[in-house]
Amino acid sequence: MTDAASHYSTAVRIDSAGPPPRVTGVGLPLRFGVPLPRGRVTLPCKARLVSQRGEIVPVQLAPVTSWPDSSVRWMRVDAVIPIATEPLLPQMWQIEFEPSNGEMNRTASDTVSLDAGFSVHPNPDKHTVFDINKRSPPNHVCLSARVFVKTKNNSLRVGKSHLLRWHDSGPIRYEVVAEGTFPGVSGLMWRAALTIYPGLNGIHVKMTLRNTRRARHRGGLWDLGDPGSILLREFGLQLEVADPLKRLFWQAETSEDFHILEANAQVERLSRQNNSVKGLIWQILQASSGGENWRSFNHVNAHGVVTLPFRGYRIIMAGSELFGDRANPLCCAQTESFCYGLWVPYFWEEFPKRIDMTPKSATMAFLASSGDDLHELQGGEQKTYSAWLVLGDEGERGRDAVLAQLMALCCEPTALPEMATPVVELPTCLPTSASWRASQLAEFAEEAAFGPKGLLSGREEIDEYGWRHFGDVYASHEKLFYQGTLPFISHYNNQFDLLQGLILQRLLSGDPRWDQLIHPLARHVIDIDIYHTTRDRSTFNGALFWMTDHYLTAATATHRTFSRKNASHSGYGGGPSNEHNYTSGFALYYLLWGENDARDAVLSLANWVISMEDGRQTPFFLVDDGPTGLATATSSPDYHGPGRGSANSV
């Protein structure tokens, strides 16, 4: 660490949560946060990453929080680490800060140019999420993306945008967000966050689908089948391509070699069968988790029935079908004028998902149709998916570059700073990493997470997979006193601040395996466990749901605690309350990984506390509009002393 004022450096550990990359000549995108001592780094400033071999990599900076003297407290860093030779992970780098006289980042424009000769035009019209143009010939639109849903009546509705905002712009990445609705589908909104990496010729697409209605939760019961739910068959992103497909390179699992499918032969076959050229050339559908317990009671619908059609995934092509258990597909489509590649992270974990390839389109069905059953998005529930689109020239070199970049992205690179100085946001009693790794508590934590009865194994026991469940933790300890007749399903649902605990383990151990728990849990709690509506009572809007009720099965209440199946006495039921409100994990997640949705979760829960205490938002405001006391009560409305309620919400 340097001593000069206004100059500061600290170590950063770069690692991989997935298999190490097996390719070279590509880049690994990284986003991470760096805590800074008070008074050491002020704005404007610049920085760079320096490897142990002396390689220098530019970065993009954004201040996140500040000290009282206006110096930077946490800095968000974006970088692309080049893989020039076979990488050996983990690697230790230094990030070096120094003063700067210029602007930290560039200003945004309507389009973003990619290094391979393409430009990205976000939201060019109300019905298009983004266009991809080739700069030669000028203004040639080679690909357009549209978000869609299929309603319960199988009616196709294309999303219409109402808002476009640029968030980040700089040499490494650009981020722009579009939001909109689906005409004719009341209460359903979508959000597309596009992160564009010019140097990678890639776009990371994060798509969110939200039911903004309130749940009716009659009697304080939150089961599927509620009148506030929205039923639909499918949600996804369709890419319309100007040039017909020539050749498709694909693999269903990353352990496979790539297969080659000649599209012309497929089109001829479809023509002989009197199908149009819009016919399906290749499809992969992940219908269930593919695990031993794929038909778990965890996946019941509103009628208490599991309707998953088959185990694992199915591929349709060339008039034949192939089957397997767990797919993580990569595909690269080659046309006359360009190549494009697709990767959908958590493809099997967040089933059902599907990718369709036709001669002039590609469809990523994030929430794919599943037999005759419908998907039910509960009132105030949302789901976020992500996908990568990588572009290249039409020739072999462009195709190979696209495939190599996709394989590099699959390694899920991650970076975290070494905590060389005390960090205000961390507990002061934390041991050093060296002393922690040598302790018996570290052995216990290892067993609890990765052992035969640990958190990861619990996923398999009740099949904690699928779009709604993946990321949550099986509360196996609740099974000890269960006396019901239905299969036992219990969700920990961030009971206490599990996310914070996992992050602390990650920092102390330096082990990237903890990421397998951290990132899915954060995503699950943000999407499923927070009540994303403003249309209910002030004590519920934006709140965090409790865990599954103690020693009872979740039945059809999903992750919302109280089910009519468990209402054995009058007065049973309820809803979110101040005693179950955990934000420290979200705050750390935002600071360390720069995930804006985690910041928004903290703000949502903070606003919930303010609203529940505001007497003007109660039905009795004409009589008494003073503080309600709901934010400080614990166990009883009459007790406002030290306790879980005031500790968690005030």
**Cβ 551 vs Cβ 482: under 8 Å:** yes
Same domain, 283 and 223: yes
Instruction: Report if residue 90 sits inside a domain.
Output: yes
Same domain, 303 and 441: no
What is the model's pTM? 0.95
Q: What is the pLDDT of residue 1?
A: 43
Domain coverage including residue 495: 432-649
Q: Which of these, 118, 117, 121, lies nearest to 108 by C-alpha position?
A: 121
Q: Which of these, 529, 503, 479, lies nearest to 592 by C-alpha position?
A: 503
Same domain, 362 and 257: yes
The sign one gets for the Cα dihedral 446, 448, 453, 458 is negative
How far is residue 620's CA from residue 616's CA, in Å, rounded to a whole number? 8
Same domain, 71 and 170: no
Q: Which of these, 468, 185, 71, lies nearest to 302 by C-alpha position?
A: 468
Instruction: Report if residue 469 sits inside a domain.
Output: yes
Q: Which of these, 461, 459, 457, lies nearest to 472 by C-alpha position?
A: 459
Around Cβ 205, how many Cβ atoms within 10 Å? Answer: 23
Q: Alpha helices of 303-409 — where are they, by DSSP H?
A: 396-409
**Last residue within a domain, chosen from 55, 77, 99:** 99
Q: Which of these, 148, 150, 146, lies nearest to 374 by C-alpha position?
A: 150
Same domain, 588 and 494: yes
Q: Which of these, 582, 571, 572, 573, lies nearest to 543 by C-alpha position?
A: 582
Q: What are the structure tokens assigned to 518, written together?
A: 């951290």
Q: What is the pLDDT of residue 276?
A: 44
**Cβ 384 vs Cβ 206: under 8 Å:** yes
- 3-class secondary structure per residue, 70-123: CCEEEEEEEEEEEECCCCCCCEEEEEEEEECCCCCCCCCCCCEECCCCEEEEEE
Query: Where in 100-201 does DSSP place strands (E)?
Result: 112-113, 118-125, 128-134, 140-151, 156-158, 160-168, 174-181, 188-197
Instruction: Report if residue 211 sits inside a domain.
Output: yes
Instruction: Report if residue 511 sits inside a domain.
Output: yes
Same domain, 204 and 93: no
Q: H or E stretch including 399?
A: helix 396-409
Same domain, 264 and 363: yes
φ/ψ of residue 42, rounded to 5: -120, 165
Around Cβ 540, how many Cβ atoms within 10 Å? Answer: 21
Tracing tokens 């303010």 back to the chain, one arrives at 610
Same domain, 83 and 210: no
Instruction: Report if residue 104 sits inside a domain.
Output: no
Same domain, 213 and 359: yes
Using DSSP's 3-state secondary structure scheme, residue 599 falls into: helix
Secondary-structure breakdown of the chain: helix, strand, coil percentages, each rounded to the nearest 5: 20, 35, 45
Total number of domains in the chain:
3
Same domain, 232 and 286: yes
Q: Which of these, 405, 279, 283, lies nearest to 341 by C-alpha position?
A: 405
Q: What is the pLDDT of residue 3?
A: 43
Give the chain's residues under pLDDT 50: 1-5, 274-277
φ/ψ of residue 407, rounded to 5: -65, -35
Beta bridge partners of 367: 235
Beta bridge partners of 10: 95
Same domain, 82 and 147: no
**Cβ 297 vs Cβ 303: under 8 Å:** no
Q: How far is CA 610 from CA 145, 228, 628, in A?
A: 40, 25, 10
How far is residue 84's CA from residue 259's CA, in Å, rounded to a whole number? 26
How far is residue 133's CA from residue 116's CA, in Å, rounded to a whole number? 11
> Cα 26 to the chain's mean position, in Å?
24
